[in-house]
Amino acid sequence: MKGPLTILIAEDDDGDLILLKRAFDKVSPQTRLMVVKDGEDALRYLKRTSEVDGTPAFPFPQVILLDLAMPRRGGFEVIELVRSDPRLRKLPIIVMSGESNSEEVARAYELGANAYFLKPNDPEELYKMVASLLPFGLDLPSS
């Protein structure tokens, strides 16, 4: 991989987002975080990663970090739509949820999530989780 890792974070909770940004700053400050607040904006972002009518492209993410419970389009729908798009199909999707419901976990994997993490409450656990996410983006070329 050339250049910094780019991660698209789809998270609607400002508190969780602040904690995530702090964790990335501590564990991997060179990682570029692109943030959207819901599933609709995540899909819109992914469609804008190639130049359209002279509008500059957004940096293509090597990983999507996805909350499931979001407004407009939820995480499950985002997983389905990303996996159905040939251009995005191989993009790693990491679910980070406040729920550990076994049915929800199973559904996320069935739809094509690469990993499922429960949002940690402890900062040290969050740092470990963030560090474990970084290898997911190592096999994909940056754009």
Q: Please count the helices (runs of H) and the strands (runs of E) in the chain.
A: 5, 5
Tell me if 114 is assigned to some domain.
yes
The whole-number pLDDT of residue 142 equals: 40
Q: What is the b/e burial string over 92-119, where b = at least 16 CB atoms within 10 angstroms of the residue's CB?
A: bbbbbbeeeeeebbebbeebebbbbbeb
Tell me which residue has tokens 């940056």. Answer: 142
Domain assignment present for residue 19? The answer is yes
| pTM to 2 decimal places | 0.85
For residue 23, give the CATH number of its domain.
3.40.50.2300
Do the Cβ atoms of 98 and 59 come closer than 8 Å? no
Give the model confidence (pLDDT) of 33-49 as tens digits. Answer: 999 999 999 998 998 75
- Number of structural domains the chain divides into: 1
Question: In 3-state terms, what secondary structure has residue 7?
Answer: strand
Segments forming the whole domain that contains residue 63: 12-50+58-137
Question: Is the residue at 133 inside a domain?
Answer: yes
Structure confidence by residue, pLDDT tens digits, 46-95? 987 555 555 556 788 999 999 998 888 889 999 999 999 998 999 999 99
Whether 7 maps to a domain, the answer reads: no
